[in-house]
Amino acid sequence: MAAAFGTVFMPEMAITWFDGSNWSVPEMVSSDSISLHPGAHVLHYSSTCFEGLKAFRHADGSVNIFRMDRNIARLSQSSRLLGLPALDDASVARMIKDTVARFADEVPAPPGSLYIRPTHFGTEPAIGKAAVPSVTSCFYVLVSPVGDYFAGGDKALRLLLEDQGMRCAPHMGMIKSGGNYASALQPIMRARDSVQADQVLFCPGGDVQETGAANFLLIDGNEIITKALDESFLHGVTRESILTLAQDMGMQVSEREITVDELLQRAAKPGCEAALSGTAAVLAPVGTLIYQARNMP
């Protein structure tokens, strides 16, 4: 049986520390542990953000990283919005490239890939700074050879539509922060236990947004409909790529508000499909929408 997604790691990672004034020279260290003060800001106030991107092995044997510049830009944005020390994009890119090159021989053949997890978090030992950002931080690049994110492979997913709660605070949605995933955990756990859903599609007030770990796309004939970008949800790199390709193929791309009522009406039509998009999920088909105790295939 294959290891679960993201549970196998390469033995080393690239790391650098910000001391309040300067970043240390990046180095490769063992990836089995990090030493932190128990009062580190991240452990108490969740000053952490990360990215997920992939390196792929091509038919000629070369290894290429998919749209790294977009992920680095989003990581820098997340860091800024969390008040973390500014990252140097060029240095981040070098650390990612060096780490992938070091383990290029471990990149699986398609459909597998090398999942790359750059992570930035506050390290200042100060438990009285609940409303003040950390002045010191750590940034590292961890990599993991992976296959499918969803255990069922190509099996169509079951989504529970949640129109009462929300994934995270609206102003935090565009930040890829661990706290956002933590706030979505309880609703997802309840959905799995109660209706055997794979994920929750958060639709606060009837506004279709995203699931706990991926963007949502509705494909109705030649039209792709997805929520217009705002700060309430994550601006996915895979989402952006799919919409660009769809436009190039002549499809109509509609980035706008979509309500639960419209989603259910359209999903009931023959030929209408739904999918989740993300670096880990790639493009995963949705087979069933669950709303108010009803299953709508």
End residue of a domain, out of 112, 146, 180: 146
41 class by beta-carbon count within 10 Å (0-12 exposed, 13-18 middle, 19+ buried): buried
Full-model pTM: 0.94
Residue pair 115/145 in contact by the 8 Å Cβ criterion: yes
Residues 142 and 226 grouped into a single domain:
no
Residue 151 lies in a domain: no
Question: For the chain, how many structural domains are there in total?
Answer: 2
The phi, psi pair for 166, rounded to 5°, reads: -130, 160
* Residue numbers in the chain where pLDDT is lower than 50: 1
The whole-number pLDDT of residue 153 equals: 58
The whole-number pLDDT of residue 3 equals: 77
Residue ranges making up the domain that contains 118: 12-146
Residues 166 and 142 grouped into a single domain:
no
Residue pair 143/9 in contact by the 8 Å Cβ criterion: yes
Residues 284 and 166 grouped into a single domain:
yes
End residue of a domain, out of 86, 111, 146: 146
Residue 4 lies in a domain: no
Q: Which residues of 123-157 are buried (b: 16+ CB within 10 A; e: fewer)?
A: bbebeebeeeebbbbbbbbbbbbbebbbeeeeebb
Coil, helix or strand at residue 294: strand
Nearest residue to 166 (alpha-carbon basis) of 232, 227, 229, 228: 232
Beta bridge partners of 218: 225, 274
**What mean pLDDT value characterizes the chain?**
95
Rounded to whole angstroms, the Cα distance separating 213 from 261 reads 23
Rounded to whole angstroms, the Cα distance separating 179 from 185 reads 10
Structure tokens that stand for 44 in this block:
């108490």
Total count of residues recorded for the chain: 297
End residue of a domain, out of 110, 126, 146: 146
> What CATH code is carried by the domain that includes residue 79?
3.30.470.10
Residue 169 lies in a domain: yes
> What CATH code is carried by the domain that includes residue 237?
3.20.10.10
